Chain A
């Protein structure tokens, strides 16, 4: 069964450094998402992306964050200047359409640790 893949599985970065998290969505999916889960807290929506544009973003997704689809298969999340509070699991998801009857499928996440 097709799946969303994320790399790396664990990223350790010094505070203030830039980090790029990578995702390969399911191949025939058109909508892409990033979520994060701080330890012990809920999974939270960050951003959705369609047709090379952000379609929706949360208030968490400030100017430090950016997303890109650099080629036909990868989808990336960049954090420009990491803070301690950015430490979390980051999940990529994809869906065929934006409708709820084509639900979102998640990768296994990247654990980001900021030192």
Chain B
């Protein structure tokens, strides 16, 4: 079983729709959970980070963590064509090594 699993997509949505992304993981030691956005030929750009279970909202973005189910989600409201990118989940245990999912490619069509 892979440590972090993420559907590669592509996920295609019309502009204005809600984008729903998720990752599952197997390592119960993960405590910190991040979402990064990566445009083509660019580095990962931090969008959200959370600790422990619960929700966190920042503008159009909402991150959810369910540690009992080992499942995290990212929702993007009112999606824009500029949101078209690859979205990476990443997780960290007690150390400082990030473990990434494979990324989900999102296409927001005008």
Contacts and interface: CB of A to CB of B under 8 A. Distances in A.
Contacts of B99: 45
A56 B88 contact: no
What class of interface size applies to chain A in its complex with B?
A: 20 to 34
A44 B44 CA distance: 12
Contacts of B92: 100
A24 to B, nearest CB: 13
Interface string B66-110: 000000000000000000000010101001111111110000000
B96 A31 contact: yes
Given A33-B96, A56-B95, A100 B32 contact: yes
Interface string A21-59: 000000000010101000001111100100000011010
A56 B97 contact: yes
A104 interface: yes
Given A41-B102, A106-B46, 14 more contacts: A42-B100, A45-B99, A48-B95, A48-B97, A91-B43, A100-B31, A100-B32, A100-B51, A103-B32, A103-B34, A104-B46, A105-B46, A106-B43, A108-B42
A95 B42 contact: no
Given A42-B101, A100-B31, A55 B43 contact: no
A72 to B, nearest CB: 21
Interface of A: 4, 6, 31, 33, 35, 41-45, 48, 55-56, 58, 91, 95, 98-101, 103-109, 111
A39 to B, nearest CB: 11
A95 B96 contact: yes
Nearest to A6: B43
B30 to A, nearest CB: 9
Contacts of A111: 41
Contact of A45 (B43, B46, B49, B97): B97
B45 interface: yes
Most buried by A among B44, B99, B103: B44
A42 B89 CA distance: 11
A104 B101 CA distance: 16
A48 B42 CA distance: 21
